[in-house]
Amino acid sequence: MQFVEEIVVDEFLPTIRSLLAGELRERGLTQSDVADVLGISQSAVSKYAHGDVTINERIADDERVSATIEELADGLSTGDVTPVQALIELEVLVRELETGGDLLAQLHEEAVPELADHGASFRVHDPESDLRTSERVVSSLRRGLRILENASGFAGLIPAVGSNLVACTPDAEGIDDVAGVPGRIFDVKGRTTVPAAPEFGVSEHVATVLLAARRHGADASAAINIAYDDDLLAALTERGHVTAEFDEVDDITSSVGAAIDDEPEATVLYQTGGTGIEPLIYVLGADAESVADDVRSLL
């Protein structure tokens, strides 16, 4: 399985960086200058300069790519274009090349020929298609999981039942519309362990909390559960979160709904446990990355 975003990372990005590095060097920028402009190391610039990085010739030969590289090299070398502005221009170019039957779409379909089995009416590279929407959710979830895996100390926030970071599609109605980690995230000898790649329909508990909150008006598309602690709850409040308590002894959907109804601005839900029920905190957010960042800020 290969997402079009992987084509962007593995083929488009190295090609663009190599072309830009070469053009900037031709305009008199030092290796150190190029590294600063592109946000990469000097050793990486050296690899690009010496041809040690494989580029995709089809991308390099595309007229729109060539024109964009020339414009950005001119602007970056004179300071008329900032690195952020250059990034925006390249983002726009990526979206254009992903659309319909364009270059990145073609490369994706060649890498995954099975996409053709969906028929001519299936537009995998339509930004609004169900598959593209699902891709974006899973990609966001992967980035969020990487944040947690690399966050020193996160394992200490994982409850005995395990954590799960979940994210849903914009029109999510059920658990099958929510992606999460199969088997949950566990603390294995002090190390955060994600046992498998994220999938849709594999999280029942955290997904149910997220869906219940959304049905009652919560503006959230992602959530995570962590161990309950008074200090953690206080820290989240200090960071601007609004908290609401619910009673998981009752039906979880009704309980979460009642909590949101009482505190519509809530972005953190919690329950203090009961007989056979572990106390937990649920952090809600716009996407998986922002939720992971919120949790990382507690460490």
pLDDT confidence bin for 124, thresholds 50/70/90: very low
Domains of the chain (ranges, CATH numbers): 4-115 (no CATH), 130-297 (3.40.225.10)
pLDDT per residue as tens digits for the range 222-273:
999 999 999 999 999 999 999 999 986 668 899 999 999 999 999 999 999 8
Q: Burial of 182 by CB count in 10 Å (0-12 exposed, 13-18 middle, 19+ buried)?
A: middle
Reply yes or no on whether the pLDDT at 153 is more than 70.
yes
More confident residue, 120 or 170: 170
CA-CA distance, 23 to 19, in Å (whole number)? 6
pLDDT per residue as tens digits for the range 73-85:
999 998 888 888 8
CA-CA distance, 196 to 180, in Å (whole number)? 10
Mean pLDDT, rounded, of the chain: 88
CA-CA distance, 284 to 85, in Å (whole number)? 31
More confident residue, 279 or 127: 279
CA pseudo-torsion sign 288, 293, 295, 299: positive
pLDDT at 205: 94
pTM higher than the cut 0.75: no
pLDDT per residue as tens digits for the range 32-54:
999 898 888 888 888 887 778 88
CA-CA distance, 280 to 17, in Å (whole number)? 45
CA-CA distance, 18 to 46, in Å (whole number)? 10
